[in-house]
Amino acid sequence: NAPIPHRPIQALPDQLISQIAAGEVVERPSAVVKELLENALDAGGSQITVRLEEGGVKRICITDNGKGIPPEQMPLALARHATSKIASLDDLENVNTLGFRGEALASIASVAVVKLTSRTADAAHAWELEGSHLGTVQPSSGAPGTTVNVQDLYYNTPARRKFLKSEQTEFGHCAEVVRRIALARPDVTFTLTHNGRTIDHWIASDMAKRSAQILGEAFAEARIAIDEASGVLRLHGFAGLPTASKSRADCQYFYVNGRFVRDKVLVHAVRAAYEDVLHGDRFPSYVLALELDPALVDVNVHPSKIEVRFRDSRAVHQFVFHAVQRALAQTSATAHGAIPA
């Protein structure tokens, strides 16, 4: 046996720390799209454009008309663990922004060529910063708001690049992320282009219209509106009737405080509510949003924040189950000629 060499313990360089973090935060182009869209929404953007090239691998460029970043803060936006969204543990426990970890832009900038262009409402012109937080901020042009341009994803981490799938597959994941976020925010106008072609364009409207546009007419014609509140919990959105069910679980959108989540407790509660009306091999379609006091749910479970942990998951399960079941029972009663409750 060869002796184990004695290597000194060393602090890792910044760039390498970010590249390691990027493995979690930026698994593929769609994860970049998600992070940039969340930043655009946190900045109060009401019009957001997503431009992709070659499935996002060649280029992801997201423009918003939000509040912008003052030039002196632009380097910090690209620095690791720097955020304007929380400042204390108390803030973390009551977080009401989509982001708060302060690592997305730094991670992305460590595995791609990033250019940040931003202009605040009161600034005379825009400013730009390219590369990393070590670059220099320079005058630029553009309307108020922010553009983040991400070029050549994983150009410096070839091992990661090998895991990417075809352009169409990566684009499909990106488009799905845009759909998820657009469903949560019908009040915002979204545009998605791929290789110069406009793929989606949704004008700001309401949840009824947005979900019909995104989930299609079949869903729009066979769904029931839900809006129920109990104590600190509120559930609203649309549950598809059995005729809008699918053979795959690909039309299931659940949001907790505006964040798309995949949560066993919630999926189970909804599935159980459909028990009496839906055949076991069919999957219900739904767009449901649960709102609750942010202190009652922990979103800091995973870097992508797709998982959550409820303080009282039994209460949440009960509430969601009953709300959906009641809604479905009403329609089946109407369908059989009974008077709805």
d(C-alpha 57, C-alpha 30), whole Å: 10
> Which one, 22 or 226, has the nearer CB to Mg ion?
22
| 104 φ, ψ (degrees, to nearest 5) | -65, -55
85, amino acid identity? K
**Cα–Cα distances in Å, from 50 out to 60, 95, 209, 251, 273?**
7, 26, 21, 22, 36
By CB under 6 A, is residue 43 in contact with ligand ADP? yes
> Which one, 63 or 325, has the nearer CB to ligand ADP?
63
By CB under 6 A, is residue 101 in contact with ligand ADP? yes
Cβ-contact 50, 192 below 8 angstroms: yes
d(C-alpha 256, C-alpha 235), whole Å: 9
Q: Using CB under 5 A, count the residues that bind Mg ion.
A: 3
Map the footprint of Mg ion across residues 5-64, applying CB under 5 A: 39
CB of 102 to Mg ion, least distance (A): 8
Figure out which of the listed residues 28, 51, 100, 189 binds ligand ADP, where binding follows CB under 6 A.
Answer: 100
Figure out which of the listed residues 19, 39, 49, 285 binds ligand ADP, where binding follows CB under 6 A.
Answer: 39
By CB under 6 A, is residue 61 in contact with ligand ADP? no
The residues, ordered by sequence, that sit 6+ positions from 253 with a Cβ below 8 Å of its Cβ are 180, 183, 184, 260, 286, 287, 288
> Which one, 39 or 211, has the nearer CB to ligand ADP?
39
Best CA proximity match to 62, nearest among 206, 181, 154, 215: 181
Nearest-CB residue for ligand ADP: 99
Figure out which of the listed residues 45, 55, 68, 99 binds Mg ion, where binding follows CB under 5 A.
Answer: 99
3-state secondary structure of 288: strand
- Find the part of the chain contacting ligand ADP (CB under 6 A) among 32-40, 166-174, 247-255, 261-269: 32-40
Q: Using alpha carbons only, give the angle 214, 217, 218 rounded to the nearest 5 degrees.
A: 110
Nearest-CB residue for Mg ion: 99
By CB under 6 A, is residue 75 in contact with ligand ADP? no
By CB under 5 A, is residue 303 in contact with Mg ion? no
> Which one, 106 or 150, has the nearer CB to ligand ADP?
106
The two tokens of residue 301 are 């479970």
Binding residues vs ligand ADP (CB under 6 A): 35, 39-40, 43, 64, 66-69, 77, 83-85, 99-106, 146
Binding residues vs Mg ion (CB under 5 A): 39, 99, 104
